[in-house]
Amino acid sequence: MRLVLVPTPIGNLEDITLRALRALREAEVVACEDTRRTGILLKHFGISRPMVRLDQPTVSNARRLLEGYEQVAYATDAGTPGISDPGAELVALALEEGWKVEVLPGATALIPALVASGLPAARFAFEGFLPQKSSERRERLEQVSVGRTVVLYEAPHRLRDTLSDLIKVYGPLHPVALARELSKLHEEIWRGSLGNALEYFKEPRGEFVVVLGPKATKAEGQKPIAEDLLTQLKGQGLKGKELVKALTEAGIPRNQAYALVHPPDSSK
């Protein structure tokens, strides 16, 4: 008995892998969030397989699915299954029942957005979709923001509210990158400050990946983070007092921020 989680393109159909196509062809059934969307993908690649809906409202049918087949492929609407979909529940149940589980590498919005942001990528926290309540969003962000880049998913109708909450936690000058329509014709990766992002995205369209620069701590040993932030903020055109202010709002002690912006003249 074998369950294969199959990543599907987030936009450009050429991002499908040969291994993913083989897994879809070999499956007895393809479980998916939306049979219409997955049906378009299968038809495009000439694959004819029965499909079964398995999304969050129907995840209770997972056990019945596993009881009826021995070779199951699971695909989400776009990207790698197991994040913001029932993939994780399906995997847990399959393992409990003694199934072999394979997760194929492939398309995801998370990593391309993080790398393309130009923000520090060595350490990051992925938070997926934030809670809908403003107070809960801010509480979550305050918990994960220190010392590492934070990556979020956000829907267009909630983007401006989320940006407003981010400004309350990080400050308007904090560096951020927003990626939308990744791998599609109108792909856009916007880089700047949170305040400018709120001004720029007045009518957001498309699904967003939000990448926030790390919020520095006041502990020792944070010099690399401070220097990374300094580089990012300079790239936004900030200098002098504005640059010092942005660094302090990111959590860097004022004396350290001043020293970074106004380093001592080594020639003296």
pLDDT digits (tens, 9 = 90+) for 123-168: 898 999 988 888 888 888 877 766 788 999 999 999 999 999 999 8
Structure-token pair, residue 41? 């993908």
48-56: Cβ within 8 A, 24+ apart: 49/24, 49/25, 49/73, 54/86, 54/90, 55/85, 55/86, 56/85, 56/86
Taking the domains of the chain in order of start, what are their residue ranges?
2-103, 109-268
Class of domain 109-268: alpha beta
**pLDDT (mean) for 103-113:** 94
Q: Please determine, for residue 46, whether its predicted confidence score (pLDDT) is greater than 50.
A: yes
**pLDDT (mean) for 182-193:** 92
Residue-level pLDDT at 145:
62
Residue-level pLDDT at 233:
82
Homologous superfamily of the 2-103 domain (CATH): Tetrapyrrole methylase, N-terminal domain (3.40.1010.10)
Q: Please determine, for residue 220, whether its predicted confidence score (pLDDT) is greater than 60.
A: no
How many CB atoms within 10 Å of residue 34? 14
Residue linked to tokens 């990593």: 111
Residue linked to tokens 């495009």: 44
**pLDDT (mean) for 253-267:** 73
**pLDDT (mean) for 85-91:** 91
Q: Which residues, in sequence order, are bridge partners of residue 154? A: 208
> pLDDT (tens digit, 9 = 90+) per residue, 188-209?
999 989 999 999 999 999 999 9
Residue 264: pLDDT band (50, 70, 90) is low
Residue 116: pLDDT band (50, 70, 90) is very high
**pLDDT (mean) for 97-103:** 95
**pLDDT (mean) for 222-227:** 62
Structure-token pair, residue 147? 């010392």
